[in-house]
Chains A and B, each alone.
Chain A
Amino acid sequence: MDLTDRIAAFRETVEEWLRGLYHGMISHPAYELIEKEAEDQEDAFLLACFPDAFGIPSPVSYYTAELLPYLGAEFEQWERRMWDRGSMLERKGQQYHF
Chain B
Amino acid sequence: MGRYVFFGGKGGVGKTTVSSAYAHKCAGADLDTLLVSTDPAHSTADVFDQRFDDDPTPVDGYDSLEVMEIDPEEAVDEHLMGIKRQLGDQVSPAIVNEIDRQIELAHQTPGAHEAALFDRFIDVMRESEHDRVVFDTSPTGGTLRLLSLPEYLGGWIDRLLSKREKSVDLYEKSAIGGREPRRTAVGDPIIARLRERKENFEFAGETLREEAAFYLVANPDELSIRETRRAIASLAERDLQVAGLVANRLTPEPEPHEEGRGARFLRDRVETERERVRELEETFDPPVVARIETRVAEIKGDLLDDVSRELDIAADLVA
| Contacts A/B (CB < 8 Å), 23 sampled | A27-B176, A27-B177, A30-B176, A35-B171, A37-B170, A38-B168, A41-B166, A44-B163, A59-B156, A60-B157, A62-B79, A62-B107, A62-B111, A67-B190, A67-B194, A68-B102, A69-B83, A69-B86, A69-B87, A70-B189, A70-B190, A75-B98, A76-B99
Interface residue from A45, A57, A58, A66 paired with B83 (Cβ < 8 Å): A66
Residues facing A in B103-157 (CB within 8 A) are 103, 105-107, 109-112, 115-116, 152-153, 156-157
Q: Which residues of B contact A30 (CB under 8 A)?
A: 176
Expressed in whole angstroms, the Cα–Cα distance for A35 and B166 within the complex equals: 12
Asked whether A62 lies within 8 Å of B115 as measured between CB atoms, the reply is: yes
User: Which stretch from A7-15, A46-54, A83-91 is at the chain B interface?
Assistant: A46-54
DSSP majority for the A interface?
A: helix
Known: A70-B90, A72-B91, A73-B95. A34 touches B174 (CB 8 A): yes
Expressed in whole angstroms, the Cα–Cα distance for A65 and B119 within the complex equals: 14
Asked whether B170 lies within 8 Å of A49 as measured between CB atoms, the reply is: no
Asked whether A57 lies within 8 Å of B160 as measured between CB atoms, the reply is: no
Does B159 have its Cβ within 8 Å of any Cβ on chain A? yes
Residues of chain A touching chain B, judged by Cβ–Cβ distance below 8 Å, are: 27, 30-32, 34-35, 37-39, 41-42, 44-45, 48-50, 52-53, 57-73, 75-76, 79
Interface residue from B105, B174, B189 paired with A61 (Cβ < 8 Å): B105
Does B50 have its Cβ within 8 Å of any Cβ on chain A? no
Does B175 have its Cβ within 8 Å of any Cβ on chain A? yes
Asked whether B111 lies within 8 Å of A65 as measured between CB atoms, the reply is: no
Could you tell me the distance in whole angstroms from the C-beta of B195 to the nearest C-beta in chain A?
12
Asked whether B157 lies within 8 Å of A31 as measured between CB atoms, the reply is: no
Does B226 have its Cβ within 8 Å of any Cβ on chain A? no
